[in-house]
Amino acid sequence: MTARSAEPNEVDEGALADVDLAIVRDAVGLAGVRDGGGSVPVIALVDDPAGDVATAAIVDAVATTTADAAATVRWVLARDGSIRDDPSRPPSRVERLNAGTMRLASVRSVEETHRAAIAVADEVFPPHHCLVGVRDGKWVEPIAASAEVPIEDCNGVRVGSGAAGTVAVTGEPVVESNPNAESPYDTVLTLPVGDDTVLQLVTDDPDGFNESDRRLAGLLASHVEETLDRIRTDEALRSERDRLLALFSNVPDPAVAYDYVDGEPAVHRVNDAFEETFGYDAEVVDGESLDDYIVPVEEAAAEEAAELNERLQRGDNVRREVTRKTADGLRHFILHVIPIHLNAENASGYAIYTDVTDRREREATLREQNERLDEFASIVSHDLRNPLGIAQGYVELASDTGDTAHLPKASGALERMGELVDDLLSLAREGRAVGETEPASVAALARDAWASVDTGGAELVVEGDVTVDADPARTRELFENVFRNSVEHGSTGSRTEFGDSVEHGSADGRPNPVDGGCAAEGLTVRVGEASPRSDGDGVTGFFVEDDGCGLPEETERLFDTGFTTDEDGTGLGLAISERIAEAHGWEASALTGESGGARFEFRTP
């Protein structure tokens, strides 16, 4: 068998003699088939199943899509196998209803369903006419009607009154004589279609509707109801899908819809926030493994991603902190992944990345500030002790001698105390922060700091000079703490017996000669430019070195807050110096000097 589509310029007299059916798309094609002669079945492939072409008398079936047309062709050709044997036999009403059912299966809207119901009713019940009414509040309003029944001539009825209003309430079909004496129709058959729609057939046949009419009409109403239910379900699903898609697209955090393919999370969809955060357009990552684009290359990260994939494919709901590659480098996220089906093996879900990098940094800063506040009281008392002692000494000297020339020196020490308080308050508030930096002479800063420390009989030797970009006040404080350490502790104890000059002094804070050398008298502290390292990195800086008793065995703890080899020491001086160095971006280290004393190097970028 063959099926031929009749186009208007192809159809002439006798052209349809050797074909099994004709498919028309418009009124011109329909006219060509009509004028071409023959009695083959005709299928209308049109958008409107209730239009003039679809409802023409010679049309046997209607299709609204290509797929629908194919199914309709198969049904028409298979119908009883007798169309070619007896072309004069018209299709039965059951066959027309079956064709109409396929037509209803192809409609995609409620309005289209109403029109299709009218068209099918007109095919199945040619002598009768059809009306579709829909409940709207307290009224049942006419929506669609057969071509011979102008819709504007049809009136709505109140719910609960009349045949249509009664059926809308009871859900039971009603057959009654037409109460309108002026109407040409004698009998009205009203059937319920779901909860809000009614289907009416009217006839001018005095015998009304027989049992076959009622059964077929009931089947038609049932098919229309199924179609309306399907469309409403589809619309609800589309609406829900659109809401979920809007939520997915507009969520402020990066989001990914994924499907697992061969154990890898393949990207199905990403939102705008993902594109902005990770720097990949949706077209780039669509269908690709998400891990290949955003998981860091480190082995630990790859193992973590593999473990996550295993859990997600089992249906686990995962929430954890992860590190991922973004357009701005590595950042930290709370990853919340929700599989489509929890606690069941599945391959789809959604992943949302909430950036917590800034929060982590704030928490780290807060922890650091709290640690500094814990140390604040000790640091203040340690750094203020020396200038306070100097001021007190000069005030007592002026009081004992009556010589007021000593008072300006006491005043200078008090001013220095004020500077220290300001700096230490800044350190407590801002951690390892420094103020304005400027090119500064290490030699000049060292000499200024030396003058502020009670150096006893020690001697400062400046070997050359080097310029560094520094906060002068904070750098002078660094020198003061290192000088104080060398003068107070560098000459106490025996290199042979103790080997721990740092933070090791007498109870009153003054050097204390001990057998084995290391006397305070003759102590030399040298300051100069640090030579480049042997590794050739080109980094230089400056050093402070004494010829005292050397370093303790626990050199790795020298810069720890509170570490001291003297039970009366505070262990804060070198810790403060290291923090000031770190605030400048310098590296602080402790070494053994050429003469066996302590050497501190501060390497600058």
Of the candidates 479, 486, 507, 474, the one whose C-alpha atom is nearest the C-alpha of residue 585 is 474
Instruction: Tell me what pLDDT residue 394 has.
Output: 86
User: What is the Cα–Cα distance from 311 to 305, expressed in whole angstroms?
Assistant: 10
Profile the chain (605 residues) by mean pLDDT over runs of 10 residues.
47 61 87 76 79 77 73 65 56 82 85 91 88 93 87 87 91 84 77 94 85 90 93 89 85 92 88 94 93 92 90 86 94 90 76 93 81 66 72 87 84 76 57 78 94 87 92 90 82 38 35 43 87 68 90 81 59 80 90 90 87
- Helix %, strand %, coil % for the chain, to 5? 40, 20, 35
* Amino acid sitting at position 481: N
Q: Answer yes or no: pTM beyond 0.85.
A: no
Let me know: does 199 contact 130? Beta carbons within 8 Å: yes
Instruction: Tell me what pLDDT residue 321 has.
Output: 92
Of the candidates 407, 385, 387, 412, the one whose C-alpha atom is nearest the C-alpha of residue 396 is 407
Instruction: Tell me what pLDDT residue 590 has.
Output: 92
Map out the domains of the chain with their CATH numbers.
1-91 (no CATH), 125-250 (3.30.450.40), 254-355 (3.30.450.20), 356-431 (1.10.287), 432-604 (3.30.565.10)
User: What is the Cα–Cα distance from 330 to 575, expressed in whole angstroms?
Assistant: 31
Instruction: Tell me what pLDDT residue 543 has.
Output: 95
What spatial distance separates the first Cα and last Cα of the chain, rounded to whole Å?
90
The β-bridge relationship of strands 524-530 and 459-463 is parallel
Residue 546, both tokens: 């004494």
Instruction: Tell me what pLDDT residue 322 has.
Output: 93
Residue 257, both tokens: 């819809």
Q: DSSP class of residue 90?
A: P
* 3-class SS of residue 74: helix
User: What is the Cα–Cα distance from 288 to 563, expressed in whole angstroms?
Assistant: 55
Starting at the edge strand that comes first in sequence, how are the strands of the sheet with 61-63 ordered?
4-5, 22-24, 42-45, 61-63
Runs of H (alpha helix) within 198-298? 211-250, 272-278, 282-285, 290-294
* 3-class SS of residue 195: coil
Of the candidates 596, 592, 597, 557, the one whose C-alpha atom is nearest the C-alpha of residue 578 is 557
Let me know: does 323 contact 303? Beta carbons within 8 Å: no
Q: For the chain, how big is the Rg over CA atoms in Å? A: 48
Instruction: Tell me what pLDDT residue 497 has.
Output: 36
Where do we find the tokens 């262990």?
Answer: 571
Let me know: does 324 contact 254? Beta carbons within 8 Å: no
